[in-house]
Structure 1
Amino acid sequence: MSDAEDDPRLSFVYAEAVRGLTQQQTLVEGMNMRAGSLIFATAFVNSLLGNRALSDGLGAFDWLAMAMLFTIGGLVVCMVWPYDQYKFRFAPSTLLNQYAEGKTPVGLPAMHRALALRIEADMAENWTIIQRLRMTLQIALILLLLNIATWMLAIGWA
């Protein structure tokens, strides 16, 4: 099939690649919203339980709970820190140079094919960052549960 012919299969593959990249971007935005919820939950729990536990002075559980609070805070900062390594779009100048205004402009089917393969590579690079963020979120959530338990122990031992 020549490059000049319109191949609907390539258009479909390209559309699916774009859809996958869009879903990946939505996943990242969702994780950022979860990080915001984690900030709220951590602040609420620590203000409520920490206030009660610290009213009797500082004990070992109080110090442990505060250490967990700062660790959760550090993990949240890592999660919401802006990552410039994400690849969710193409630079228009690059597209123009490679596909439209270059030495040999290519047809739309060839462009769809090349961009679909590039999207796949970009998604793989994005996925490594997403996996780190997901693991960070999971650790922070576990620490929040341990933080709650530690504050409860601090209150109970007082």
Structure 2
Amino acid sequence: MPILPYQRVTPMAERPSGSETNRTAASDLADDDPRLAFIYQEAVRGLTHQQTVVENMSTRAGSLIFATAFANSLLGGAALSDGLGLWEWIAVALLFSIGGLIVFMLWPYHQYSFRFDPEELLREYVDGDGPTTMTAMHRALALRIKADMAGNWRIIQRLRMALQIALLCLLLNILAWLLAIAGV
């Protein structure tokens, strides 16, 4: 018989015998609500998706660094050959703005919640007053994941906004360099 991820497995030495086995099996069936296990798995999947979004944002910030460096080295050299005018100063200011936004996106101070603390889980669900059922654990952890996802989402929204502003600044930066080259 395959073991589902949310089923409890009792080692052979601890298995009850006789009528005790029937009562334990009946209580385990009543304890393991597959609906809560499904909800828990979906919550974990949502949290994993959120972690992927954060990793993708970091990758995009790295791509933005490359694009900014390439555009500024290519256009900036040509524009600065005549000295510093209004458009050159605007382009340099936009370059520093992009740099600041990238630092904000990549700085590792953000407090994401993607994992549970094993010590806390043991203390709360195993070593506590009484053993907690799997159904109760799935329910509590699904609600905790939801709260963690809400906290993560606020951070992700700020990072997404910073990325969008940085991309807009890059476009304006390129435009400023082009206007400086054209001598407008």
TM-score bin (small chain) = over 0.9
State the match for 1:70 in structure 2: 96
- Is 1:122 the counterpart of 2:148? The answer is yes
Measured against aligned partners, the alpha-carbon deviations of 1:70-104 in whole angstroms (never above 9, x if no partner) come to 01000000000113410000000010000011122
Q: How many Å separate the matches in 2 of 1:137 and 1:88?
A: 22
Matches within 5 A, 1:46-125: 46-125=72-151
The CA distance in 2 between the partners of 1:52 and 1:104, in whole Å, is: 73
For structure 1, the residue ranges without an aligned partner over 5 or more in a row are: none
Q: Which amino acid aligns with 2:146?
A: E
Letter in 2 for 1:22: T
Q: CA deviation at 1:153?
A: 0.1
State whether residues 72 and 143 of structure 1, in contact with CA within 8 Å, keep that contact through their aligned partners in structure 2: yes
**CA-based RMSD:** 1.5
Structure with bigger RCO (C-alpha 8 Å, 6+ apart)? 1
2:12 maps to what in 1? none
When the two structures are aligned, how many residues end up with a matched partner? 158
Supply the AA of the counterpart residue of 1:52.
A
Cα shift at 1:2: 8.5
AA paired with 2:121? L
- Structure 2: how far apart are the matches of 1:4 and 1:122? 29
Number of the residue aligned with 2:173: 147
SS at the partner of 2:149? helix
> Does residue 1:15 correspond to 2:31, yes or no?
no
Q: Of the two, which has the highest radius of gyration?
A: 2
Q: Which blocks of at least 5 consecutive residues in structure 2 are unaligned?
A: 1-26
Matched residue, 1:44? 70
Amino acid across the alignment from 1:69:
L
Counterpart of 2:132 in 1: which secondary structure?
Answer: coil
Contact 2:110/2:155, CA 8 A, preserved across alignment: no
TM-score after normalising by structure 2: 0.83
Identity across aligned pairs (percent)?
67
Please, which of 110, 116, 134 is the counterpart of residue 160 of structure 2? Answer: 134
